[in-house]
Amino acid sequence: MSMHILVAGATGKTGLHLVQRLVDQGHKPTALVRKGSDTSALPSGVDLRQGDLTDLQDGICDGMQVVIFAAGSGGSTGADMTEKVDRDGAKRLVDLAADAGVDRFVMLSSVGADQSDPQGEIAHYLKAKHDADEHLKASGLTYSILRPVALTDDGRGTDVILGDGVDKSAKAARIDVADVLADAATTGRYDGIAQDMQSC
């Protein structure tokens, strides 16, 4: 059965793989895009819905069965944008999804975001992701949270490892991440689960 799925971050590296996967499976993804975003790489026929994660308007999730947050502020932005997009934007999207009565919310998070007081160079980013994840868990929505290790642009791996067996120092191909996100969104296989992921 074809599903209406809103994808935040659809024009990003992982998002493009994700949207293509959903289209290939016969679903109807809608890309949440900022005004002026380059949408040329999106598959033809994908619907667009304008919205900025730093200032999402009411009704952005209306008509959707599933919402996927696969966006990110990017590695070159400062702490303020990390908070606006990865924490506050994600939390706002969760709230709007709940308001719209969506069936499922899938969050692309990061390995290490399970820690409430992360340490290290990207501690600020991991704290923002942690806060967004916890907000989703408490929202009452059916959820799935995926926490991949370091992302690469490599081709699809021979397999993926999910959960406790993940090597935190390993890599995850974006195309593999997209496959798991699509499965989480459309099958319910990972409902109520927050899990690490790697490619192998």
Q: Which residues pair with 150 in a beta bridge?
A: 171
User: Does 125 qualify as catalytic in the annotation?
Assistant: yes
d(CA 179, CA 156): 9
CA neighbours closer than 13 Å in the CB half-sphere of residue 177: 33
| C-alpha distances out from residue 35 to 70, 99, 109, 137, Å | 18, 24, 25, 30
Question: Which residue in 123, 109, 110, 116 sits closest to 79, CA to CA?
Answer: 123
| C-alpha distances out from residue 31 to 48, 82, 116, 164, Å | 5, 21, 31, 32
d(CA 79, CA 29): 30
Please pick, among 125, 127, 151, 199, the residue that the annotation labels catalytic.
125
Question: Which residue in 148, 152, 156, 147 sits closest to 200, CA to CA?
Answer: 156
Which amino acids are annotated catalytic?
125
